[in-house]
Amino acid sequence: MPLSRAQRDALDRSVSATRMGTYVRVSGGDADLARARYLWDRELAVAFFADIALLEIAVRNAMNDRLAERWGERWYERVEVPLDDRTAAQLAEAHGRVVGPKLPGRVVAQCTFGFWAGLLDRGAYTGRDPRRVRCDYDLVLWRGVLDRAFPGGRATARGDGERWGRTYAHQVVTRVNALRNRVAHHEPLIAGYPLPGQRGPDGRERRRTAAEGFGDLLRLAGMIDRDLRGLLLATSAVPGVLDRRPRPRDLRRRVTPLRPGVVRSSVP
């Protein structure tokens, strides 16, 4: 739907030229298309966040249930559960955010998605020299414990032509966490999003498209419960929003420049 002049002006006043520049670049300098894509990007972020809200809780519950089954509901207090310095710091922050009694359910609910993703890593170090030791998450946390949190993992990995294991689970959850953070921080999705800390053979940061991000949501849901994947497919608004990505032919008005000198007019 074309915007009125007042609506265009309001959007231009609200969004910085730098931020809108991302949309202008991917729209070939077409200011009206850039505005339409900015609003579309907002709609896509809302759709993604609804799905991630469901998955984040599902991941947390699945992993916490297996850890509690092995070490009790206060598993995070047990000295035999190896937590490296990074994970321990995240846990301490979550513990500190709890208001009132530090009940297990409240502590677990405060743990971030990044915390759960970190438990699927291989583990790093804890302590200081000369008693600095490596925490082996693969041996203690994964095998026979967290691997059971993802009963559909083997079939999901096989569908990707990959080998099922902690590394595969960690990669999928980490990619979903990257998308979650992108959406939560109101960063653009129009040109995809980076995977922090992951670089390709050319040294450049790896990126995912929004469509690939939705594929990762389906992977993660299928790893936890194939019926959860079916629910996501049936209820997610993401595919519909992706199909409605504004294209030049969708606009009925000519370009109205964002700011003098910022964008060029489109050619007939």
Is 219 part of any domain? Answer: yes
Residue-level pLDDT at 11: 94
How many domains is the chain partitioned into structurally? 1
Is 199 part of any domain? Answer: yes
CB 81 within 8 A of CB 140: yes
Is 264 part of any domain? Answer: no
pLDDT band for 2, please (50, 70, 90 cuts). confident
pTM as predicted: 0.89
Is 69 part of any domain? Answer: yes
CA distances from 172 to 10, 96, 206, 223 (A): 39, 29, 14, 10
Is 260 part of any domain? Answer: no
Is 268 part of any domain? Answer: no
Is 208 part of any domain? Answer: yes
Is 195 part of any domain? Answer: yes
Tens of pLDDT, residues 49-106: 999 999 999 999 999 999 999 999 999 999 999 999 999 999 999 999 999 999 999 9
Closest listed residue to residue 91, CA positions, set 68, 67, 116, 72: 116
**Domain hosting residue 133, numbered range:** 5-250
Residue 256 or residue 141, greater confidence? 141
Q: Is 203 left (phi over 0), alpha (psi -120 to 50) or beta?
A: left
Tens of pLDDT, residues 15-30: 999 999 999 999 999 9
Closest listed residue to residue 19, CA positions, set 153, 185, 160: 185
